[in-house]
Amino acid sequence: MEYKVSLGPQHPALHEAVSLRMTLDGEVIRDADLKLGYSHRGIEKLAEERSYIQNIYLTERICGICSHSHTTCFTQGVEQLMELVPARRGLFIRTLIAELERVHSHLLWLGVAGQEAGFESFFMYTWRDREVVLDILEWISGNRVHYAMNIFGGVRRDIDELQRKKILDSLDLLKKRTDYYLNLAASEPTFVGRLAGVGKLSREDAIALCAVGPTLRASGIASDVRKDDPYAVYGEIPFEVATADSCDVLGRAVVRVKELISSYAMIEFLLKNLPEGPFKVKAPRKVKPNEVYSRYEAPRGENVHYIKSNGSDKPERLKVRAPTLANYPATIAMLKKGFIADIPLIFAAIDPCICCAERLVQLDDARRGDSRVLSFSQLRSMANERAKKIDFKKRKIAWPF
Amino acid sequence: MIERLVHWSRVKSPWVLHLNAGGGCNGCDIEILAALMPRFDLERFGVQLKGTPRHADVMICTGAITLQNRDRVLRIYEQVPDPKFVVAAGACAMAGCVYRGSYHTLVGIDQLLPVNAYVPGCPFRPAALIDAVVKLLNSVK
């Protein structure tokens, strides 16, 4: 017999508000549907009201884990619009922060995966090591989560000799710990047994469903924006794109641990080859009318910002496509034919960042070809109308006992 | 006697529900988890993170409330048994942060729920959350 189960928006396995509706046959998932919009904040609309400089801080708050990804993606797009060449030292520091962010994000994910697999001490281990990276980031930028390092034309703060030495020292510790995790992820039988074969996504499906990031690379496709379309100074850094062929959650864990190791090498390379010179150049206030499409490899996959300028100091349109949104169709495919107990693990394996992916989509009428532009007040009244329709009193649930 | 025992256990070991009200950037959620991890270790004050609102004494809310999430937040608040305490953690939960003026978020948790403690910062440091929880427990004593 088939029956329906809903999971979320408030659920212990999910740290953010998202709702899953599943059709089950016994313990096997036959069909799954995602319901989004709980974290929609209207960032794209807010961005149109603010100047480019204010928007750096707004885009930073799209996501709290990959905050540097969104600002870099936005900043390098606007720099292209401004026809501004950023300072070379600034670009190195920007890349350094990006790699440090990848390290902290992957360590965070490893811990969450360990917790979902029932391996609590692994969770504690990785989060303890993550504090080392956060200390480095705090030492460079003054902040643990929102670094606010990017400005147009470079970065906000420089790195001195003492900081460089401290980062290199901390890296030794992190390398040792990561080797231990790689060993653990590859050889601990209970951990391997829990992750192997769960959430299969074949190579063909991964391409057809447009998966990105470690989810795609774990299906054996070496696709990485850092290699395919190098931005910042990635063209000069030697590194290999990490892949795995097992197409399951274990493969995604292995890809992330391999990326951690390659990130350490990249950080070392960046620190040793840090060029002398200014770390920022002066940027103009206004931007010529143009449009740009900016790509960035965030820890979760390809992050895309589309920016359209109209000659003023505010963007006319900002479109954000975060990696989690691109991975949703693949997640649904992975959930199908899976077991109900594997839901948190499969869902965690794409490293979901719900608030990254909450964008509004306005569908146009394809037959009539109507295209509507909604003003801010119209959107506000639409949202209010929708909220008014919810009858709070009717929803009161009686205590069953 | 039993009342005193209940009060004592409530102050000594408050159970916490972590509620993401929607309109945040999840930076605060990560910092709450970091506060429970070995380095900051909020659990030494007896605080334990719980999955369900029915087990919780203290609700730690992060993020501005989105309109779609509003009735759910209310429902979760009703499910927490009395006496309940709400901590508004982070700048979004206090006053909306950068999302102030958006068409889909409320400006702060206190527009919907009574709040007992505020933790400022975008995001706050784990130490600030520990300070807030300890101050809240002292005021309950």
Q: How far is A306 from chain B (nearest CA, A)?
A: 20
Helix (H) or strand (E) holding A4: strand A2-7
Closest partner residue to A64 among B22, B70, B123, by Cβ? Answer: B123
- CB-CB under 8 Å, A124 with B37: yes
The pLDDT-based confidence of A6 (bands split at 50, 70, 90) is confident
In chain B, residues with a C-beta closer than 8 Å to the C-beta of A394 are none
Q: Give every CB contact of residue A400 below 8 A, 6+ residues apart in sequence.
A: none
Q: For A53-67, A183-197, A314-328, which range has the lowest pLDDT when averaged over its residues? A: A183-197
pLDDT band of A375, cuts 50, 70, 90: low
Residue A401 has pLDDT above 50, yes or no: no
Residues of B with CB below 8 A from A61's CB? 25, 27, 97-99, 122
Among the listed residues B123, B120, B124, the one whose alpha carbon sits nearest the alpha carbon of residue B25: B123
Tell if the CB–CB gap between A61 and B37 is shorter than 8 Å.
no
Tokens of A335: 């959930």
Q: How many residues does chain A have?
A: 401
In this structure, the strands spanning B64-65 and A154-155 are unpaired
**Closest by Cα among A129, A149, A388, A100 to A270:** A100
Q: What angle do CA A75, A353, A16 make, to 5 degrees?
A: 130
ipTM: 0.90
How far is the alpha carbon of B14 from chain A, nearest alpha carbon, in Å? 18
Interchain pair A392, B71: CB under 8 A: yes
HSE, side-chain direction, 13 A CA sphere, residue A352 = 27
At A271 the three-state DSSP class reads helix
| Residue numbers in B near A64 (CB within 8 A) | 24-30, 123
Parallel, antiparallel, or unpaired: how do β-strands A315-321 and A301-309 relate? antiparallel
Secondary structure of residue A324 in the 3-state scheme: helix
Alpha-carbon gap: B74 to the closest alpha carbon of chain A (Å): 9
What's the fold here for domain B14-140? Rossmann fold (3.40.50)
**Range from A4-8, A117-121, A176-180, B118-122 carrying the lowest mean pLDDT:** A4-8
| pTM of this structure | 0.89
What's the pLDDT score for residue A366? Answer: 59
- Name which of B22, B53, B71 is nearest A39 (Cβ-Cβ): B22
Taking an 8 Å cut-off on Cβ atoms, the answer to whether B70 and A353 are in contact is no
Of A12, A37, A392, the CB nearest to B74: A392
Who among A12, A37, A397 is closest to B68 (CB)?
Answer: A37
Asked if A384 lies within 8 A of B67 by C-beta distance, the reply is yes
d(CA A31, CA A25): 9
Whether A9 sits inside 8 A of B104 (CB atoms) is no
R_g of chain A computed on alpha carbons: 22
B104/A41 CB distance under 8 A: yes
- Kindly report the nearest CA distance between residue A326 and chain B, in angstroms: 19
Going residue by residue through chain B, which has 141 residues, state the pLDDT in tens, using 9 for 90 and above. 888 888 888 788 889 988 888 778 888 888 998 998 888 888 888 888 888 889 898 999 998 888 888 888 898 999 998 888 999 999 989 888 888 888 888 888 888 899 999 999 888 999 999 999 888 888 887
Determine, for residues B27 and A395 on separate chains, whether the beta-carbon distance falls below 8 Å: no
Among the listed residues B64, B99, B90, B85, the one whose alpha carbon sits nearest the alpha carbon of residue B133: B85
pLDDT digits (tens, 9 = 90+) for B57-98: 899 999 888 888 888 889 899 999 888 899 999 998 988 888
Residue B114: both structure tokens together: 């009574």
* Helix, strand, coil share (%) of chain A residues, nearest 5: 50, 15, 35
- Residue A141: its H or E element: helix A120-141
Q: What domains, with CATH codes, occur in chain A? A: 43-356 (1.10.645.10)
CA distance B46 to A7: 29
* Positive or negative: CA dihedral A98, A100, A101, A105: positive
Distance CA B66, CA A332 (A): 25
Q: How far does the CA of residue A307 sit from the closest CA of chain B (Å)?
A: 20
Which residues in chain B are contacts of A124 at CB distance < 8 A?
A: 37-38
- Taking the CA of residue A353 and the nearest CA in chain B, the distance in Å comes to 8
Chain A residues near residue B125 by CB distance under 8 angstroms: 144
Phi-psi region of B95 (alpha: psi -120 to 50; beta: other; left: phi over 0): alpha
For residue A128, give the nearest of B23, B38, B74 by CB distance. B38
Q: Which chain A residues are closer than 8 Å to B31 by Cβ?
A: 144-145
A7-17 tens-digit pLDDT: 877 777 677 77
Mutation choice for B interface testing from A6, A41, A48, A395 by most B CBs within 10 A: A41
Q: Can you list the alpha helix ranges (DSSP code H) found in A237-392?
A: 249-272, 323-335, 343-349, 376-389
pLDDT value at residue A373? 66
Contact B25 A42 (CB under 8 A): no
Nearest to B67 among A353, A386, A395 (CB): A386
CB pairs A-B closer than 8 Å: 139
What is the rounded distance in angstroms from the CA atom of residue A101 to the CA atom of residue A137?
8
Quote the minimal CA–CA distance from A31 to chain B in Å: 24
CA distance B4 to chain A (A): 27
pLDDT at A276 over 70: yes
Chain A residues in contact with B18 by the CB 8 A cut-off are: 15
Inspect the interface and report whether the beta carbons of A131 and B37 lie closer than 8 Å. yes
Tokens 């409320």 appear where? B106
**Secondary structure of chain B: what % helix, strand, coil (to 5)?**
50, 20, 35
